[in-house]
Amino acid sequence: MNLRQIEVFRAVMTTGSTTNAARLLHVSQPGVSRLIRHLETRLGVALFERRNGRLVATPEAHTLQSAIDQVYRGVQHVQNVSAHLRFGDHATLRVLSSANTGLQLVPRAIAGLLAQFAQSKVFFESLPTREIVQLLVAEEADVAISSAPLDHPVLDVREIGHWTLMCAVPQGHALAGQGALVLDQALQQRLIVYSPEAPQSRVIDAWFEQSGLPRQVAVEVRSGYAACAMAAGGAGIAFVDDLSARAHRPEGLVLLDVPDAPRFAIYSVTNLNRPPSRLGQQFLRTVEQELRLLTPT
């Protein structure tokens, strides 16, 4: 496959039709169709099935797309490096975070970093844990801030602080008027819990199990911020990490301290084979400063 074939194939996969792909690439629709047919002939496999005027990608097309996506990520990395070379001292930093650390902690740290290095550029993404590991291992990111431990032999994982639990309840809820939270009563309410993809899922579920009480699950979400939104809407109560709780707007929500709430670590993560640059080192120091302000002891 040449670059033009890759570009057209990816456009068709992305847009779902040759017409939309042609618009995206500013070329004619017949030209896109001819190129796809030529590509199928050359590869000896059908990449799309024609159903009622629509294109449906075959399993072979999805396999090809996965390989092409890897190439595009590599190209993006090359572009980032070339941009760094072009701008000389204008360094770049690629930062990843878990959902809750990406609400206030990491944005505030990035803002503080750019106040010191005004000509630098930061690329930031909030991603699931497994994707953070993949990008760091592939050296497609420089540093991550995670509220869950990441396990891989090539990663340097360091504890830099902690998060703890709070209880988010709707305004007017009976628990909100009691002052101190009674844990046994709270665990008998309709609960908003986390799907396995959420970084805090495993540790909060383990804490629930220690209570020995059955749970009445009302809603399952993927982030603490979504749990706060559900609680504010009256769907139930949620035990949320304090980073997500403090980032949520207070309207319709009451945040209660949890008696003897457990603490869980927050980590900085880098690749052992790619030590942080000067910019990365300063970013990590800034994260720790912001963390102390957000979660005072």
Question: In the prediction, which pLDDT does 284 show?
Answer: 96
User: Band of the pLDDT at 71, cuts 50, 70, 90?
Assistant: confident
As a whole number, mean pLDDT of residues 177-200 equals 82
Q: What count of other Cβ atoms lies within 10 Å of the Cβ of residue 177?
A: 9
**Nearest CA among 102, 104, 84, 82 for reference residue 93:** 84
What pTM does this model have?
A: 0.65
Confidence of residue 139 (pLDDT cuts 50, 70, 90): very high
Q: What per-residue confidence (pLDDT) applies to 86?
A: 52
pLDDT at position 84:
59
User: Structural domains in the chain?
Assistant: 3-70 (1.10.10.10), 163-264 (3.40.190.10)
Name the helix (H) or strand (E) containing 145: strand 143-146
pLDDT of residue 259: 84
pLDDT band at 85; cut points 50, 70, 90: low
Section 285-295 average pLDDT? 90
Phi, psi of 238 (to 5 degrees): -140, 140
Alpha-carbon distance 47 to 36, whole Å? 8
φ, ψ at 99 (rounded to 5°): -60, -45
Q: Across residues 227-256, what is the average pLDDT? A: 89
Is the pLDDT score of 78 beyond 80? no
Handedness of CA 255, 261, 262, 265 (dihedral sign): positive
Above pLDDT 90, what percent of the chain? 36
> Which amino acid type is present at position 209?
E
- How many other CB atoms sit within 10 Å of the CB of residue 10? 19
Q: Residue 297: which pLDDT band, with cuts at 50, 70 and 90?
A: low
